[in-house]
Structure 1
Amino acid sequence: MTILLLEDETLIALDLQYALEAAGHSVTALSSNQAAYAWLDDNTPSAAIIDLKLRDGDSRALADRLANSQIPMVIYTGHDIENTDLAASLRQVPILKKPADQEGIVATLHAQLAAVA
């Protein structure tokens, strides 16, 4: 199972990648929208963890693309974002506020995966 991890904070990305790999997942960690769009042109993740505010811009359109492709995901952000601020396709996606413990993030992602299984 391949998890797309879109996070531009290196230490956060490394911690999450380690936790996901310890849970048995393969992880593709990317730090920009541009890299994520390029990767998605040739790949389909099993699930995703997305930071909505990256150095190269807002990731809501990318998250919406994943949601419309029925990719389970978790939004993990340090910004105050409510579900009502998101496209309709993203309103059921869990939003976890930074900082959160890795085990909780992985458990939330597993719940999202179980919901579509």
Structure 2
Amino acid sequence: MTANTEIGSDPSLLLVDDDEIFLNRLSRAMEKRGFAVTRAASVAEARAALRAGPPAYAVIDLRLEDGNGLDIVDALRDAREDARIVVLTGYGAIATAVAAVKMGATDYLSKPADADDITHALLSRGATLPPPPEAPMSADRIRWEHIQRVYEQCDRNVSETARRLHMHRRTLQRILAKRSPR
């Protein structure tokens, strides 16, 4: 790592995600990179970890089963102003990215983000932009994921989803019947 991307004297890292498989995989990857990882699968667990000692670094999923990851960002920023915080989400939107940064997040990444992307976001200093991802999601995949998210939010009601997306119901049904694009 270069001089501007080194882990400081405090390698403590809080990982918060309700996807247990992703949390375990990311935890192992970050430990290999030199971080001292604490895991939390919920807002409640994250708050308990913050009470035990606020970490120097945090990677927080935006949507958790028991609440919003932005609550943890706010609590961590109050407990430790110098913490480097990356917010992760499977449903990236400009409004949530702006809210995360305003609340004190250092960066905002859309899933799937790998450990290298996360490490770079946590450790980078200055105004330089990170390099573009090697394999970004295609526009078709992003569209499909957005449709799936709205469909789930509408309790899997096709008519309501079509109305909210300003689509014809039959067109939406055809899209939902297909496999996800790569």
User: In the alignment, which residue of structure 1 is the partner of 2:32?
Assistant: 22
**Which segments of 5 or more consecutive residues in structure 2 lack a partner in the other structure?**
1-10, 127-182
User: In the alignment, which residue of structure 1 is the partner of 2:93?
Assistant: 81
Write the letter of the residue equivalent to 2:19: E
Counterpart check, 1:11 vs 2:21: yes
RMSD over aligned CA atoms reads 1.8
User: In the alignment, which residue of structure 2 is the partner of 1:49?
Assistant: 59
Counterpart check, 1:93 vs 2:106: yes
The alignment's TM-score, normalised by the length of structure 2, stands at: 0.56
From the two aligned structures, give the one with the greater strand fraction. Answer: 1
**Aligned runs of 1:63-82 on 2, under 5 Å?**
63-68=73-78, 69-70=80-81, 71-82=83-94
Q: Measured at CA, do residues 26 and 80 of structure 1 come closer, stay the same or move farther in structure 2, by a change above 3 Å?
A: same
The alignment's TM-score, normalised by the length of structure 1, stands at: 0.84
Q: In 1, are the aligned partners of 2:106 and 2:122 still within 8 Å (CA)? A: no
Q: In 2, are the aligned partners of 1:15 and 1:102 still within 8 Å (CA)? A: no
Instruction: Give me the whole-angstrom Cα distance separating, in 2, the residues matched to 1:5 and 1:38.
Output: 13
Runs ≥4 residues deviating over 4 A: none
Give the % identical residues: 29
Counterpart check, 1:40 vs 2:50: yes
Say which structure, 1 or 2, has more relative contact order (CA 8 Å, 6+ apart).
1
**Which segments of 5 or more consecutive residues in structure 1 lack a partner in the other structure?**
none
Q: How many residues align?
A: 112
How far 1:19 moved relative to its partner? 1.2
Instruction: Give me the whole-angstrom Cα distance separating, in 2, the residues matched to 1:49 and 1:35.
Output: 14
